[in-house]
Amino acid sequence: MAAKILDGEAFATRLHRETSARVAKLKARGTVPGLVFIRVGEDPASRAYVSRKEKRAQEVGISSRTLVLPASTPLHSLLKEIDALNADPKVHGILIQSPLPPALPNDLVYAHVSPAKDVDGFHPVNFGKLLLGDPTGFLPCTPAGILEILRLGEIPTAGKHAVVVGRGQIVGRPLALLLARKGPGADCTVTLAHSRTAHLSEITRQADILVAALGRPLFLQQEHVKPGATVIDVGVNRLADPADPRGYRLVGDVDFASVRSVAGAITPNPGGVGPMTIALLLSNTARAAEDFSR
């Protein structure tokens, strides 16, 4: 029996409706939520992704714009732009689009955004609140989106063994913390694995919930998955494909074709985690505006 498809597009549409209603209430009180994307350089994938985010923001009623800076922008100039946005009362959310040029230190740039406007959840203050279980911080959008997929997909989590493959600070580590939290939508026993984990397939086959977030195309195969497990594919990878006009196609970290025949539920890719990441970004922006207007 084929796996249940966890349709991120459909789930995201539900969240967008909720965010749109919140935005309408804010506007009725005189507050228009504002979101600014900062893109440094002309990376084609970043350009397309920011455009998609901005379109969704406008659809739910959030005022959004993109500040585009040349790849040669020095650090002090970028930080000055962030300072201006931090001080602007019409801007409630600031998102630094990755990747940044190599000369710009990611950690320093992310930490310069006001924690109250860090709707991506990357500021050390917000990450610290996540670690402490403090609900006043912003959660990083992709891990929070995965929790929403599990909730809306009616996937039980309490007492389940979750294996997260990938230890990055954007997805793997924060997601492991969130799944292990006490409360609804969590209460998992969590194993955080990675590409150098010995006997990886033996560990992943123990997972009731298996998350692939290591950035390796089609890495997880059928033999990595326990029958009936829920599989969440976070990866976005380019795979050479002469038949595609672009010369490549986008694939996840999971071999969807083989894994769906053994999994109990699975996210498609594209159409799974990506739309939910954007949905949580917009939800965070609405919340930032709500906090500001109180």
The CATH number given to whatever domain includes residue 253 is 3.40.50.720
User: Which among 53, 129, 160, 226 is annotated as catalytic?
Assistant: 53
pLDDT at 239: 82
Which residue(s) pair with 220 in the sheet? 254
Q: Which residue range is the domain that position 270 belongs to?
A: 141-274
The pLDDT value recorded for residue 43 is 87
Q: Which tens digits make up the pLDDT trace of 202-227? A: 999 999 999 999 999 999 999 999 99
19-48 b/e with 16+ CB inside 10 Å = b?
beebbeebeeeebebbbbbbbbbebeebee
At 45 the pLDDT is 85
d(CA 280, CA 145): 6
**Which regions in the chain score pLDDT beneath 50?**
none
Counted domains in the chain = 2
In the numeric block, the tokens 């455009």 are attached to: 51
Beta pairing partners, 212: 165, 233
Strands 93-96 and 189-193: unpaired
pLDDT number for residue 210: 99
Q: What pLDDT was estimated at residue 44?
A: 87
Q: Give CA–CA dist 140/173, Å, rounded.
A: 11
192 and 244 inside one domain = yes
Q: Where are the alpha helices (DSSP H) in the chain?
A: 8-28, 44-59, 75-87, 106-112, 124-132, 141-152, 172-180, 200-204, 256-259, 273-293
Question: Do residues 172 and 83 share a domain?
Answer: no
**Residue 200 in contact with residue 216, Cβ under 8 Å?**
no
Task: Specify the pLDDT at position 1.
Answer: 66
169 in the same domain as 107 = no
Considering 120, 154, 187, which residue would you say is the last residue of a domain?
A: 120
Q: Are residues 48 and 101 part of one domain?
A: yes
The reply to whether 111 and 159 lie within a common domain is no
Residue 249 is assigned to a structural domain of this protein: yes
Task: Give just the sign of the alpha carbon dihedral 71, 72, 73, 76.
Answer: positive
> What local confidence, expressed as pLDDT, does residue 214 receive?
95
- 123 neighbors 113 (Cβ within 8 angstroms): yes
Task: Identify the CATH number of the domain in which residue 92 sits.
Answer: 3.40.50.10860
Catalytic residue among 27, 43, 90, 97: 97
**Claim to verify: residue 269 and residue 185 sit in the same structural domain:** yes
Residue 250 is predicted with a pLDDT of 86
User: Is residue 8, in this structure, part of any structural domain at all?
Assistant: no
Q: Is 97 a catalytic residue?
A: yes
Q: Assess if residue 146 is contained within a domain.
A: yes
160 and 86 belong to one structural domain:
no
Domain identity same for 205 and 245: yes
Exactly one of 117, 118, 120, 160 is catalytic; name it.
Answer: 120
117 is catalytic: no
Give the CA distances from residue 280 to residues 48, 169, 273, in Å, rounded to whole numbers and listed in that order: 18, 17, 11
Q: According to the model, what pLDDT value does residue 163 have? A: 99
DSSP state of 262: T
> Is 53 an annotated catalytic residue?
yes
pTM for this model (two decimals): 0.96
